[in-house]
Structure 1
Amino acid sequence: DKPLGGSFHMSPPRSTPAPPAGQTSGGAEDLITLTALSSVVSTLVQKVTSLETKLKDHKKLFKDVVGKLVKKVKAMEVKLRTKKRKMVVSDSDQEEGGKQDVDLDALLALA
């Protein structure tokens, strides 16, 4: 079972030798690729810088807002405690007033 046309010689596959260190293969194409990559890296660095600046601004804003909210909560807690004290004092005044009414009724009954 020989191929048509007789036998033919197959050479072993050849690998393309790598260019020596420091040299590029493709010359202009590699330069364009490097320029494009450099441009992309520059754009990404600018975006990262912009995002970092925005993050710092947002952190400061949120810190300020949280600080204001904490102050408001503390002020409300103080008001609540004050109202509770007034309610307790008011309740005790009413109880004492009720006793005075009973005492006056008892005195009037004795008179």
Structure 2
Amino acid sequence: MNDKGQERDVYVAVADPTRRKLLRLLSEVEELPLHELTAQFQMGRTAVSKHLAILKEAGLVTDRKVGRETRYRLNAAPLSEIRDWVSHYEKFWQEKALLLKKLLEEE
């Protein structure tokens, strides 16, 4: 939760390229510990942890403690909100492409 007591917006969470890369990395495996995620970036553990916290607030990442290690896992369900929003524009562009094709065939 952020300082207003609300979940972070999924769009805000995926707006940052570092967070998108974290999501991609987590989509490729069941879960990863923080040190393995940090090794994929040119930034420190604290910075990666802050990005993961934002993803967690948006519900995109879950974590669990295993001994002294924190392991992170992707929860892709909130991404359906983005998929649904983008699908509207996909239909828009498909219609425009069909119209362009029709116009080009008429010439």
Compute the TM-score of the two structures, normalised by the length of structure 1.
0.31
Which structure would you say has the larger RCO, counting Cα contacts within 8 Å and 6 or more residues apart? 2
TM-score, scaled to structure 2: 0.32
Question: Quick check: which has more Rg, 1 or 2?
Answer: 1
Q: Which structure features the higher share of helix residues?
A: 1
